[in-house]
Amino acid sequence: MDQSSPCLWVNASLFDGLNGAAEPMAVAVQEGRIAWLKPMSELNAADQSGFECIDAKGALMTPGLIDCHTHLVFGGNRAGEFEARLEGASYQDIARAGGGIISTVRATRTASEDELFESAKTRLQALMADGATTVEIKSGYGLDLENELKMLRVARRLGRELPVRVVTTLLGAHALPPEYKDDADGYISLVCNQMIPAAAAEGLADAVDVFCEHIAFSVEQCERVYTAAKAHGLAIKGHTEQLSNLGGSAAAARAGALSVDHIEYLDEAGVKALAEAGTVATLLPGAFYMLRETQLPPIELLRRYGVPMALATDANPGTSPIFSLKLMLNMACTLFRLTPIEALRGVTAHGARALGLQEEVGRIAPGLQADFCLWDTTNPAELAYSVGLPRLTHRVVAGMVAEK
């Protein structure tokens, strides 16, 4: 991203990614990064020389929002499956009958790279319109070497062509493709011996993810994937404890995972393992809501053990066809009883940590990228409180005002 000229944003009501500021602030941006911040009451004329001044007029400034878990690139959609679930079919029933993830795999394999790019671009623009400046995008609907790499190439291209940072994750171990029916270990060998080395060699993946669940892969199979990912210098993450408690989160934490995601069925031993490893717990209330889940993630235990909670859309065609981080703020509070500030940390400072990018994005602090949003309110809690408002008035990426 190009660098901007030096800018001084004055009179901002600041939420810095962790806390709100007590008084209006000035934020200086140089060469695309935050240079310094100070309270307006301490700002003098010399501070302002050489800067173009922009008056925020008291508006709330937050870090650019981070969506640390999405499946934005996919073919087709699953509206029919949504209707079937409303009639009583469960997500697991549909998956076992060859629908679910596998039906999106069929549509993704037949789609061209350009088609996938165009449909994902629309979804990404929806996230950006809501304040996202960093978005993680997973593969996982190709489930063979060629189509997994195709999805990752589309994700990389989105990051090159749109004013948003894109982080990519190889999710080869998402579901068992029909060609490997009854040979899950053989498929995991393909993921470990071909997909991971190729994605790493071509620079297409920043991390590797798995789906650890009865309808997907066992803890042991996921551990094989982690070992291969680490051997190729890639970070690891897991979809764990979404539908049952297999101990997948603790295994991921022991392997050094950046985050474990979903975690409705996580128990105290699992929470302790996260705390010991410094692994982030990523909450995905969109999937909880769409699946009409009733098992709540262990929020109180996560608080007690000091585990950072990230918050993401899980945007995908099956369990969370939702393209709004602001709606996630509201759902995290109404469904999971997070405080608005905890929810905001989840899409800023803790979302960055879930991607290993905490020294680059997610906070408004000296040295970090100048990625931030201005909102038509002064109160951070209003971002979670209201659905549809407050309006995003500015979205700034690397110091430059980007289109919303």
- Known binding positions for Zn(2+): 69, 71, 239, 314
Name residues whose C-beta falls within 8 Å of residue 116's C-beta, 6 or more positions apart in sequence.
Answer: 73, 74, 75, 108, 150, 151, 154
Using CB under 6 A, pick the residue from 150, 239, 350, 363 that binds ligand NIG.
Answer: 239
318 binds ligand NIG (CB under 6 A): yes
Chain CA centroid to CA 363, Å: 15
Q: Which amino acid is at 137?
A: I
The stretch near ligand NIG (CB under 6 A) out of 40-48, 270-278, 311-319, 336-344 is 311-319
Using CB under 6 A, pick the residue from 4, 30, 70, 104 that binds ligand NIG.
Answer: 104
- What's the min distance (Å) between Cβ of 242 and Fe ion? 8
Per-residue binder mask for ligand NIG (CB under 6 A), 248-287, x = binder: ---------------------------------------x
293 binds Fe ion (CB under 5 A): no
| Residue 117 token pair | 């790019």
**Counts for the chain of helices (H) and strands (E), in that order:** 17, 16
- What's the min distance (Å) between Cβ of 233 and ligand NIG? 25
> For residue 216, which of 255, 177, 251 has the smallest C-alpha distance?
177
The stretch near ligand NIG (CB under 6 A) out of 46-54, 120-128, 158-166, 309-317 is 309-317
Select from ligand NIG, Fe ion, none the partner in contact with residue 211, using the beta carbon and a kind-dependent cut-off of 5 to 8 Å.
ligand NIG
Beta bridge partners of 13: 60
211 binds ligand NIG (CB under 6 A): yes
Q: How many CB atoms lie within 10 A of CB 52?
A: 12
Written in H, E and C, the secondary structure of 48-99 is: HCCCEEEECCCCEEEECEEECCECCCCCCCCHHHHHHHHCCCCHHHHHHCCC
Using CB under 5 A, pick the residue from 293, 314, 342, 371 that binds Fe ion.
Answer: 314
402 phi, psi to nearest 5 deg: -100, 160
Q: Name the residue nearer to ligand NIG (CB basis): 37 or 116.
A: 116
| Beta-strand relationship, 259-262 and 235-240 | parallel
Select from Fe ion, ligand NIG, none the partner in contact with residue 279, using the beta carbon and a kind-dependent cut-off of 5 to 8 Å.
none
169 binds ligand NIG (CB under 6 A): no
The C-alpha atoms of residue 28 and residue 169 are separated, in whole angstroms, by: 33
- What's the min distance (Å) between Cβ of 322 and ligand NIG? 11
Using CB under 6 A, pick the residue from 316, 348, 358, 369 that binds ligand NIG.
Answer: 316
Positions touching ligand NIG (CB under 6 A) are 71, 100-101, 104, 211, 239, 242, 287, 314, 316-319
